[in-house]
Amino acid sequence: MHRRSTMEKPRVRFAPSPTGYLHIGGARTALFNWLWARKTGGTFVLRIEDTDQARSTDASTQVIIDSLRWLGLDWDEGPGVGGPHGPYFQMQRLDLYRAHADRLVAEGKAYRCYTTREELEAMKAKLPEGKKRDGFVYPRIWRDRPQSDWLEGQPYVVRFKSPSDGATEFDDKVFGTIRSPNASLDDFVLLRSDGVPLYNFGAVVDDVTMGITLVGRGSDHIINTPKQILLYRALGAPVPEFAHLPMMLTPDGKKMSKRLADQQGIDVPVEVYRDKGWLPDALLNYIARFGWSSGDQEIFTRDELVAHFDWDHCGKDDGRYDKKKSLWVSFEHLRKLDDDAYAAAVIPFLAASGINVAPSDPRLIPAVRTIRPRAQRLCDAAEMLAFYFVDAPVMDAAVVAKFLTADAKAQLAEVAAVLDALPAFDEASVGAAFEGWLAARSLEIKTVAQPARVALTGKGASPGLFEVMAVLGREVTVRRLRAAADVAA
């Protein structure tokens, strides 16, 4: 059997089915393929596998495309950009699958099967209890029937004539040699009775006709690979290389379904990361380091990922999503932004919570500087910034009750008076005045800081008191201190 030459420029693809959002595991598959294409000067193809008509939707296609664009995983051929091997939607390639299926039938490598779905169900029902779900294989009723037996006019599926002896073997780029006995293969269906191909057939016909040289995908597809290799051979096509990636699991080691992940606070759809204020490069960094490594390096720019990526350093074992580490990666990328970029990035997140801040607002950059070491995502940043930009901060009842005591309120009134009289209101001046007043009253800062913080921010935790005051300005600072001092006990 001939194989793809490793000398030619790689052609890789990402082939999602549009049945929902872009899953974070899918994003990682897309990323690894994209990295390989970009590193090698190859071609990255996007193909939409929309043959599951019951579940595929145009809206989902759009969501997936939007997510890929947000991540910056641009494709060289596919929806929106076209290319020489289109169309890139499987439902627009039906003639192609039909032609290939007919050819396999003509060559005796596949056959028409007139057994109906109902008959199959009946056979399954007769199986002993335990095997009903697990062990049913189509009994190859139509496998060797002559063409004269065909029920013309009746619906039929096209099944592959799987070999029943020998074994199929391939050399995976990350798992090494994988070998499985052909006897475990069913005469699987290539074409449904309505002419729409099933996954294994559609993918192979497309990978052949699109000239794909390396198939990178999740390890849940290892089981499909022998079937597909048999199909490549039956079609007389070169077999591409395969690279399977271990799975991303939930923190307790389960398959990352949205429902299960939600329970554990893990976000599965890529769009949620965008909406919570991750930088695309940060998400790429986290999922790249998941199952792949480059020495001790943890934080990578996009270019570094492209430069360092290779299949040899991909691990084989499934991993579990680590939320804390993912947030740390997000934080590390956020900190690389300069203040202007950070401020511009956070404005939409402020707006999303109803707080409109103009890019030119003089409080914006100083305010942003105070929360930068504290926010791991932009949604957190917006939440921390809110008190600066509202008329009156939202007061946390628990901390109000704890810190705004009668004594504290009297002290805040005094502090307000002191600050109101200050000639300058920068952080240093405010700090000096505040500490001067503390000294005069023989008070420790600890006793007044929390009440003041609650008065100014409504919360028990915030950036430093004096930096907050400086950003707020004299008028607002004094007003909030007095408002807290006046609040009913």
Tell me which residues in 88-117 interact with RNA (CB under 7 A).
Answer: 115-117
Question: Which of 161, 258, 276, 402 is flagged as catalytic?
Answer: 258
Nearest CB to RNA, comparing residues 2 and 374: 374
Q: Does 52 bind RNA (CB under 7 A)?
A: yes
Q: Does 87 bind RNA (CB under 7 A)?
A: no
Tell me which residues in 336-395 interact with RNA (CB under 7 A).
Answer: 373-374
Structure tokens at 212: 């794909």
Nearest to 27 by CA among 406, 291, 374, 396: 291
Tell me which residues in 399-438 interact with RNA (CB under 7 A).
Answer: 431
Could you give the maximum distance between any two Cα atoms of the chain, in Å?
A: 108
Which position among 43, 162, 450, 477 is part of the footprint of RNA (CB under 7 A)?
A: 450
Nearest CB to RNA, comparing residues 226 and 280: 226
Q: Is the CB of residue 186 less than 8 Å from the CB of residue 203? A: no
Distance (Å, whole) CA 290 – CA 354 = 36
Nearest CB to RNA, comparing residues 8 and 310: 310
Which position among 11, 42, 49, 240 is part of the footprint of RNA (CB under 7 A)?
A: 49
Residue type at 50 in one-letter notation: D
- Write the interaction track for RNA spanning residues 237-256; mark x where CB under 7 A is met and - where it is not: ---------xx-x-x-xxx-
Which position among 32, 34, 199, 242 is part of the footprint of RNA (CB under 7 A)?
A: 199
- Three-state secondary structure call for residue 335: coil
Which position among 298, 304, 361, 396 is part of the footprint of RNA (CB under 7 A)?
A: 298
Alpha carbon dihedral 300, 302, 305, 311, in 10-degree steps, equals 140
Q: How far is the CB of 338 from RNA (least distance, A)?
A: 16
Q: How far is the CB of 431 from RNA (least distance, A)?
A: 7
Q: Is 277 left (phi over 0), alpha (psi -120 to 50) or beta?
A: left
Q: Is the CB of residue 94 less than 8 Å from the CB of residue 196? A: yes
Nearest CB to RNA, comparing residues 137 and 351: 137
Distance (Å, whole) CA 65 – CA 48 = 10
Cα of 169 vs its chain's centroid, Å: 32
- Write the interaction track for RNA spanning residues 6-45; mark x where CB under 7 A is met and - where it is not: ---------x-x----------------------------
258 is catalytic: yes
Tell me which residues in 313-332 interact with RNA (CB under 7 A).
Answer: 313, 315-320, 322, 324-325, 328
Nearest CB to RNA, comparing residues 9 and 131: 131
Q: How far is the CB of 394 from RNA (least distance, A)?
A: 16
Residues 318-356 as b or e (16 or more Cβ within 10 Å = b) = eeebeeeebbbbbbbbbeebeeeebbebbbebbeeeebe
Structure tokens at 3: 């194989």
Structure tokens at 127: 């199986």
Q: How far is the CB of 363 from RNA (least distance, A)?
A: 18
Nearest CB to RNA, comparing residues 417 and 428: 428
Q: Does 223 bind RNA (CB under 7 A)?
A: yes
Nearest to 171 by CA among 34, 1, 323: 1
Query: Which phi and psi angles does 340 have, rounded to 5°?
Result: -65, -45
Give me the active site residues, please. 258
